[in-house]
Structure formats: C-alpha cells, structure tokens
Amino acid sequence: MSTNFHRRVLSWFDKHGRHDLPWQRDITPYRVWVSEIMLQQTQVATVIPYFERFMTRFPSVQALASAPEDDVLHHWTGLGYYARARNLHAAAKTLVDDHDGAFPRSVDQLVELKGIGRSTAGAIAAIAMGAHAPILDGNVKRVLARHNAIPGWPEQTAVRNRLWEIATDLTPKTRTADYTQAMMDLGATVCTRSKPRCDACPLAADCEARTQDRIKEIPGKKPRKAIPVRTVTFHLIEDGAGAVLLEKRPPSGIWGSLYSFPETQDDQPLPALSAARLDPHSKRSLAPLRHTFSHFHLDISPLVYRGAAHDLVAESDRWLWYPLDGSVQVGLAAPVKKLLQALAEH
C-alpha cells in the first residue's frame, strides 16, 4: 500500500479538515448515527439545520424511540429518502427494547440494526467508540478509486469488494476516528466529483488516476437507463375553514407513512371519500409540477375542490384535516408541502 498514506491524510486533516460540524461536538454513538444516516446522499450544508432541529427534539435514542412516527417524519420533511427516517425510528426502538438503549460495540452487531450498513456501522464504531473499523461511503470510494486507478462503477460487486480491501488495509489502528472523518472530508472538499482540487490534495504525488490523466473517468459512472415518467392527479379538498384533506400513505413504498393528498391515476374520477361531498362548481386546477425520484419522474396534476365538513371523514387514523397554518406536525412529502404552501398563499 501507499507509503505514509494515513499520515499524509491526518496531517492534511489537522490543518484543513472540518472540526466544527454539529455532530463533531459532544460525540456519542447516537449523534454520529443520526448524522451518518442524514448525510447519505445529502450535502453537509443541507443536513446541518435538520440535524440540529432533530437533536433538539430527540436528544437521545430513548426520546427517538418513544416519539410518534408522524413526529419523526415531520422533522425529516424535506430531507427526502424517507425510509431513512422510518428505519432510524425502528432501530431506536430495537436499541431501547433489546439493548437497554446502548449501542452495540461491534460492527457486526451494529449492522443488524435496521438501516445500518457496513460503512455506517464502521463510522459509528470508529468515530464514537474508537474502534479500528473501515468505512466506504461515496466520498471515500472516490478517493480510493482515484488513488489506485480502479475503473468501473463503485457499486459493482467486484469494484466495491476491491475498494473494501483497500479501505481495510489503509485504516490505521491509531487516530482511527480522525482518519475516518479526514477521508470523508477529503472526498467532500478536495477530491470532488467534478473539478477536484488536486493541487490541494495530500495524496496527489502518487495518485494513479492523476498520473494516468484519468481523473475524469474514475470512478466510473452508473450505467444510464431511460427514466420513466408516471402521471398522477392530486385532489386538494378544502373545507372552507382553513384546512385541507390529507391521507396517510401505507407504511411501505413511496412516501411511506407520510401524509399526501388523495390521488388517482391520470384523469380518473375521484372515488367517494367517506361520504365526503364535493362542490362541483368549486373545481379548479393548479399548475402541474414534476417530482423526480432516483428511478422515475412523477408528473402531478393538482385539482382543488371545496369539500365537506370535518365529521364526514371518520377514519381518523387514515384521514387528516390538515390546517394550512401548519400547526399540526406530520411528515409531508416535498411536493405536498409545496402545494400546501400554494393553497395557504391563495
């Protein structure tokens, strides 16, 4: 392996690394865990205010475990990939019920918790427990792939396995926590996807991708597929008293356990909603909008109606008259929140 790799990384980190992120203060396994889950596919700048609000509301694993799911999802609203929040909540309950609220101290035990993969487990063990555990998040994959000129998409099994071997060999037995944070910082701030700052990189001298002029092609990109488009009609039913009807989605699937508007496919008519009466003369359309998931586009056509009184919706665990002043805290998908804001402004 490369000479003095970890020493160069740590020396760079001491001078140029990030040392004042919220989760780097008062380090505990719980705080590291929540930050690592939030940082999956999400930028640090976006995560910081969410992390701080989350910690204020759920300061401990016990507080998170005992909280209603709607409250957890409300504090996740806007971060996306809501399965992360549901898994976080489920794992917190497991920690309290089966481990007396204490985190297991081995990577193998940590990965048994819902939503925790090998890299996240390694980060918790290394940063919060001082264990000798490698990580391999997206930033670290990029650094190691370029430094060793490993071609191919890092999520391909052979490529990923090779990167894990390298990560394990390079992770030092001392200052493991600092090294772990340093590698994530190096990938996030220097060895970036586009326009990496090789002149500021402590590993530039023996970076094989740089030597071979292959920085732009390594790591390889995910094979592209045509993204399909789905269409849906959202039915926004107002009660005339400052509330709109929302339906809680099933616990699995897209926007699982979040509240959304009643919907139909394409232009199908709206089925009867617990005998709700709609004013046919109140129907109007809002501007369509597109929401893009990782694997498809969702084109939404919003229709607004004046609806019936509150007592006509009997299934309180499924239906909610949501006040447009936002005084009820539940989990909302991004396009739902956007449309509610449009209704409130109107």
- The residues carrying an active-site annotation are 36
d(CA 204, CA 211) in angstroms, rounded, equals 9
Q: How large is the angle between the packed helices 176-189 and 5-16, nearest 10 degrees?
A: 70
d(CA 231, CA 46) in angstroms, rounded, equals 29
d(CA 343, CA 346) in angstroms, rounded, equals 5
Q: How large is the angle between the packed helices 83-99 and 69-76, nearest 10 degrees?
A: 130
